[in-house]
Structure 1
């Protein structure tokens, strides 16, 4: 559905792959409120709305997919969906936060070993989907080596050139197609009487009392 609405612009980019954060990137810096805001700005997986035909073209069944309540004002037979690429950035951010566990969660949860099971499951889920994507679409770019003054062996030059889609284009499309977040965060979405309800996984059954609230947890 994304490609039906616009064409991405591309640009040639050399990635910032230095071992140290030089040149500086806020995304690679130590945790801070500014850093969190930067990650939230690029990685928010907004909830969008799609037509039944768009759902079918995704290989999904509109009779199973959850509908957006018509009274929300997005039209009849609109369905919830999220851009997978945004979910992947969200997941990378989750893994980043686990790498800085003490900063984000130690005060709230205690030692990492005592983190709530659903949050540990979320971390493992994110590692899994990132691995699936990297092995499904592996980069075949090549990085080379060079000599450095302080090193006795060839040193990796991780910088490579890529043709990159303009991510801001995707964020703009997401904003245009997005559902009002106040509705997502605050509404009680009733389950239709004719909904085709899927069975819980055994793991989900063990998390008695935990309910997905429609938004992506940090």
Structure 2
């Protein structure tokens, strides 16, 4: 994968905590709190590392894609010709989690539930379901007896071997492409376009 060719991934044991009530987590997770400037900043921080970058035609082919159909950039930011836009799926997945969070609080973020926002939220939901099915976790939770509950309760506080996420956040792609650049780039003359009913 092009990302693994550019980034050293370190693994470590991490204590994951996800009590049913956020105040029972030590400390409570900011990512589960209601909208605020601090919460928005915490989510933005999770997605600020190398989301978009440039890859070569050979890397496009290694991904099983056709360079003729990939977004080609002419003289990309001084990197020369032969550059194709790429996006880090993991960062997109976290972006999607954030969009679903914002959809829960649609009144706060959007002033209501607009159809275009719903389309985005449903795209994100579908993307995450497919990713979770593709990378299905075979890790196991145990159950426990909790005061005040008649039935057993799943213990979501576990230790897992996790990728060191800071590697992603602090990764500085050799050929980065900012979100603004990504959204403002125009197709070169003759670039093939896929039919809109496929997207």
Shorter-chain TM band:
0.7 to 0.9
Equivalent position of 2:144 in the other structure: 146
Change (3 A) 1:140 1:181: closer
**Contact 1:46–1:174 (CA under 8 A) maintained in structure 2:** no
| Structure with higher RCO (Cα < 8 A, 6+ apart) | 2
- Which aligned segments of 4 or more residues in structure 1 are displaced greater than 4 angstroms? none
How big is the shift at 1:182?
Answer: 4.9
> Unmatched 5+ residue regions in structure 2?
none
How big is the shift at 1:173?
Answer: 2.6
Aligned residues: 194
How big is the shift at 1:68?
Answer: 2.1
TM-score, normalised via structure 2 length:
0.88
Equivalent position of 1:98 in the other structure: 103
How big is the shift at 1:38?
Answer: 0.8
Equivalent position of 1:85 in the other structure: 90
How big is the shift at 1:175?
Answer: 4.7
How far apart, in 2, do the equivalents of 1:76 and 1:98 lie? 39
Change (3 A) 1:182 1:43: closer
How far apart, in 2, do the equivalents of 1:40 and 1:63 lie? 33
- Any idea what SS the aligned residue of 1:80 has? strand
Q: Within 5 Å, give how 1:44-193 maps onto structure 2.
A: 44=48, 46-70=51-75, 72-106=77-111, 110=112, 112=113, 115=114, 117-184=115-182, 187=184, 189-193=185-189
> Unmatched 5+ residue regions in structure 1?
205-218
**Contact 1:142–1:160 (CA under 8 A) maintained in structure 2:** no
